[in-house]
Structure 1
Amino acid sequence: MACAFCAIIEGTSPASIIYRDEIVIAFMTIHPSSPGECTVIPIAHVDHFTDVEDGTAERIMRVAQRIGRRMREVFQPQRVGMVVHGYGVACLALLTAPS
């Protein structure tokens, strides 16, 4: 199943990628709710959060946590929020944003 995020993974859609390994990819959110917002998604397409394998879910959270720690250093926000998203694009996505 192809989606806008799959195009980023395949390199056919532009994105500012900040992290990538064999399981997940993280990039700057295209339309962020706040400056610095990042999106973390699995490399293998997963439509719903409830369908993701445990190891992949752990990896998504660990990468988002590392990004959140870096956000705290760079932006010095009061909080760093995380939201599991899946509305606009039919793909599991974890948004991480300083606020």
Structure 2
Amino acid sequence: MTSVFTKIINGELPGRFVYRDDKVAAFLTIEPVAYGHTLVVPIQEVDKWTDLDAETWAHCNSVAQKVGAAVIDVFGSERAGYLIAGFDVPHTHIHIFPANDMSGYSLANAMKPDETDDAAMDEAAEKLRAALS
């Protein structure tokens, strides 16, 4: 069955994309721990990151590093958090988010979609796109 991330990547569901190439897409999560919380997702639908081929995994991490640098720059955070969880959607993804403490590493602290401000989400995506271009 097609994952929700594949549906976003294919344009079947809306997504706030900040980066995309032929192997990887990066878009804001609908349940952020902070505005700017981005998912780096391989285009290829593979459930576990340990099952990705080494080249694709390396490229995901290269993109994640660029997104992380943009997150620090755009949001003025002390660090960019990096987290692999993967139990919620069976499609490899890396969480990158502004981090000033350890609270973002618990996805239980994430905002629900009805708790986020659409204008703030759009602004976060626009700023990250600009920083990554």
Structure 2 equivalent of residue 93 of structure 1: 93
Q: Which runs of 5+ in 2 are unaligned?
A: 100-133
**Aligned partner of residue 26 in structure 2, secondary structure:** strand
- Normalized per residue, which structure has more strand? 1
Indicate whether 1:17 and 2:12 are aligned: no
Structure 1 equivalent of residue 47 of structure 2: 47
Indicate whether 1:2 and 2:2 are aligned: yes
Matches within 5 A, 1:6-85: 6-85=6-85
Q: Which runs of 5+ in 1 are unaligned?
A: none
Q: Counterparts of 1:85 and 1:9 in 2: how far apart (Å)?
A: 19
Q: Percent identity?
A: 35
Q: Hey, which bits of structure 1, 4+ residues long, moved more than 6 A?
A: none
**Aligned partner of residue 2 in structure 2, secondary structure:** coil
- What is the TM-score normalised by the length of structure 1? 0.96
* RMSD of equivalent CA atoms: 0.8
Q: Counterparts of 1:7 and 1:85 in 2: how far apart (Å)?
A: 20
**1:39-94 deviation digits (Å, cap 9, x = unpaired):** 00100101111100101001110101001111111111111110112111111110
- The aligned length equals 99
How far apart are 1:2 and its partner, in Å? 0.5
How far apart are 1:19 and its partner, in Å? 0.6
- Normalized per residue, which structure has more helix? 2
How far apart are 1:35 and its partner, in Å? 1.3
**Aligned partner of residue 94 in structure 2, secondary structure:** strand
How far apart are 1:29 and its partner, in Å? 1.1
Q: Counterparts of 2:74 and 2:58 in 1: how far apart (Å)?
A: 24
